[in-house]
């Protein structure tokens, strides 16, 4: 939890790792440990677990907490750990956030409650409740309207950021790039904003973003981390080269519903024991795999690069 006291240091590529399952569908903790080691060896600046790429809605609260425990143990204090602790139910959200705090997480990533389509006032009260309950834990809102059917407005973020010292940032997963700018304009540059949209990761840095939580880091963690580092060092041409080089892998992620294509690739590479996804998701179809192979051939060179070789 060494980053918890200074969340402004949580920057760069925060890899949102998939949740590996066995072929029979159980959470595969051995493969999860292997994935985290791969991320650390590749230079990812932080680890997240339990975001959309981690299939949280297909897991029980107990499974999600067990996954957090495995991840926290493997990470130690080497990089920041930002587990997803949100649910559509407040009691579950509080229970998982409490577990994250106990396990030493550096911040909690709390998704907007999905399906119910709460108003902005309701969203304010939701996050205010979480922030009050855990005053010593940095809280990061996770705004992903394509999955939740609700958009966390800049003014709501401003209220929370102004009123709660531990409400520190937002993971924005919206293709409306104006939204990124309006969030930072409303709150100021001290608000930490990470992009969850792969092709907006690099552009967000120009606005003052803190980094990104990009699913493509599952496949090419070194390239994604180096993209941030090149930008931070002022080597904008090198950063842009990686941004464009990652395009085929970004497209690969969404040939069919994420994370099924990524899990198939990771299983083919031997990084996880099985490509199993839980219902309602299904493995990639034959047609989908044809396209995945094409895109992997186009961008797969970046998947083999580890550490400083990207």
User: What's the DSSP call for residue 21?
Assistant: B
**Strand intervals (E) in the chain:** 12-17, 46-49, 108-111, 139-143, 167-172, 192-195, 211-212
142 is catalytic: yes
The residues near 301 (Cβ < 8 Å, ≥ 6 apart) are none
The Cα–Cα gap between 117 and 238 comes to 41
For the chain, the helix, strand and coil percentages under 3-state DSSP, each to the nearest 5: 55, 10, 35
User: Which SS3 state, helix, strand or coil, does residue 45 take?
Assistant: coil
Beta carbons of 17 and 35 less than 8 angstroms apart: yes
Rg of the chain on CA atoms, in Å: 18
The Cα–Cα gap between 80 and 96 comes to 18
Beta carbons of 196 and 144 less than 8 angstroms apart: yes
171 is catalytic: yes
Of these residues, 89, 114, 115, 171, which one is catalytic? Answer: 171
Q: Sheet harboring 12-17: ordered strands across?
A: 46-49, 12-17, 211-212, 192-195, 167-172, 139-143, 108-111
Beta carbons of 255 and 291 less than 8 angstroms apart: yes
Dihedrals φ, ψ of 72, to 5°?
-60, -40
Return the bridge partners of 46, or none: 14
Of these residues, 127, 142, 228, 263, which one is catalytic? Answer: 142
Catalytic machinery residues: 142, 171
């Amino acid at each position: 939890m060494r980053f918890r006291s200074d969340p402004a240091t949580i920057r760069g590529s925060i890899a949102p790792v998939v949740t590996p399952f066995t072929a029979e569908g159980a959470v595969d903790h051995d493969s999860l440990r292997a994935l985290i080691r791969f991320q650390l060896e590749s230079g990812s600046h932080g680890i997240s677990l339990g975001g959309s790429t981690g299939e949280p809605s297909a897991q029980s609260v107990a499974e999600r907490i067990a996954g957090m425990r495995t991840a926290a143990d493997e990470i130690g204090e080497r990089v920041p750990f930002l587990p997803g602790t949100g649910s559509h139910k407040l009691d579950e959200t509080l229970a998982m956030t409490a577990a994250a705090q106990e396990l030493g997480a550096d911040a909690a990533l709390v998704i907007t409650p999905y399906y119910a389509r709460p108003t902005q006032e309701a969203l304010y009260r939701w996050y205010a409740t979480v922030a009050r309950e855990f005053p010593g834990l940095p809280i990061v809102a996770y705004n992903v309207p394509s999955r939740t059917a609700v958009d966390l407005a800049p003014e709501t973020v401003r209220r929370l950021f102004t009123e709660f010292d531990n409400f520190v940032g937002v993971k924005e997963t919206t293709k409306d790039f104006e939204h990124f700018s309006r969030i930072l304009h409303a709150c100021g540059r001290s608000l930490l904003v990470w992009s969850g949209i792969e092709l907006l990761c690099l552009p967000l840095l120009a606005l003052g973003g803190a980094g990104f939580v990009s699913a493509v880091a599952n496949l090419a963690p070194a390239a994604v981390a180096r993209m941030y580092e090149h930008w931070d060092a002022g080597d904008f041409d090198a950063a842009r080269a990686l941004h464009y080089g990652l395009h085929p892998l970004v497209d690969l992620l969404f040939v069919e519903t994420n994370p099924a294509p990524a899990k198939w690739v990771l299983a083919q590479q031997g990084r996880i024991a099985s490509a199993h996804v839980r219902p309602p998701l299904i493995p990639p179809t034959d047609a989908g795999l044809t396209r995945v192979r094409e895109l992997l051939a186009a961008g797969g060179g970046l998947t083999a690069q580890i550490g400083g070789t990207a």
